[in-house]
Chain A
Amino acid sequence: MIPILFAAFAAILVVSSLLVILHRNPVTSALFLVLAFCALAGIYLLLRAEFIGMVQVIVYAGAIMVLFLFVVMYLNLGHDIEGGVHIAVRRGLGWILGTVLVAEGVLLFSRGWGPGPVVPEGVLPPPGNAQAIGLLLYSRYLFPFEITSMVLLVAMVGAIVIARGRSASAPRPEGRGAARERGTATPGATPDAPGPGRGVPS
Chain B
Amino acid sequence: MSEVPGAAGPDSGHAGDGSSASGPAQGMPRWVKVFVGIAIVLAVLAVVALLAPGDHGPGRHGPGMH
* Chain A bound to chain B: no
